[in-house]
């Protein structure tokens, strides 16, 4: 016996909105992850002198890539607020938003502490938390389709995040050992 499920018009519209939402979230997540990996690899290769120094300098001041991210986020925000983007424009805005988010939060520790080493643990942790959150947004159903098991998983996840935050704060005592080695490598670079 074949059973057909008939969707009413509001269910169909809700499914289309949910599909478009998840599609944009996937573009953001993908561009975020690739940009994060590219930024970390590039900085490591420059620090280890395997590729030439391609950093941008103005009057002896190094322009960090978080500035590029802030400019991208500002431009995307202005485009979305002041323009009337269509589907293709929203796709590009999603990609640029993910790139800007990665470039900005890759140096989260530096703007949190107003300086310090690029290799701060806070930067990497921020990237993991944001990447995890974006991953959940990609796979989670729309709020209108949440069922009791989804709410249970959301509460369990919130509890896990609280435990993670407590353990993260505690782990900072041990992070200095690894950070010392990376900072030594960074200090060995010629003055900029």
Q: Where are the domains of the chain?
A: 23-187
Kindly give the interhelix angle for 87-105 and 65-82, rounded to the nearest 10 degrees. 150
Q: Please state, as a whole number, how many other Cβ atoms lie within 10 Å of the Cβ of residue 141.
A: 11
**Under 8 Å between Cβ of 126 and 111:** no
Q: pLDDT tens digit string along 134-144?
A: 887 787 777 67
Q: pLDDT tens digit string along 150-180?
A: 778 778 877 877 777 777 666 666 666 666 6
Considering only 16-25, 64-73, 77-86, 179-188, which range has the smallest mean pLDDT?
179-188
Residue 76 confidence class, pLDDT cut points 50, 70, 90: very high
Nearest to 110, CA basis, from 64, 57, 51: 64
**Under 8 Å between Cβ of 36 and 127:** yes
Which tokens sit at 26? Answer: 């996937």
pTM of model > 0.75: no
């Amino acid at each position: 016996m074949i059973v057909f499920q008939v969707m009413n018009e509001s269910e169909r519209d809700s499914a289309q909105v949910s599909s478009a939402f998840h599609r944009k979230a996937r573009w953001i997540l993908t561009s975020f992850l690739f940009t994060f990996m590219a930024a970390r690899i590039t900085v490591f290769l420059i620090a280890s002198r395997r590729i030439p120094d391609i950093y941008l300098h103005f009057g002896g001041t190094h322009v960090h890539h978080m500035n590029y991210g802030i400019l991208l986020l500002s431009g995307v925000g202005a485009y979305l607020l002041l323009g009337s983007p269509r589907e293709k424009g929203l796709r590009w805005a999603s990609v640029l938003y993910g790139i800007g988010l990665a470039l900005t939060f890759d140096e989260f520790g530096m703007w949190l502490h107003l300086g310090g080493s690029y290799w701060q643990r806070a930067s990497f942790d921020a990237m993991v938390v944001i990447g995890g959150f974006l991953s959940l947004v990609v796979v989670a159903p729309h709020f209108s389709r949440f069922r009791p098991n989804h709410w249970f998983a959301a509460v369990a996840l919130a509890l896990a995040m609280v435990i993670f935050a407590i353990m993260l704060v505690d782990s900072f005592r041990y992070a200095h050992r690894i950070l010392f080695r990376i900072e030594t490598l960074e200090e060995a670079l010629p003055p900029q």
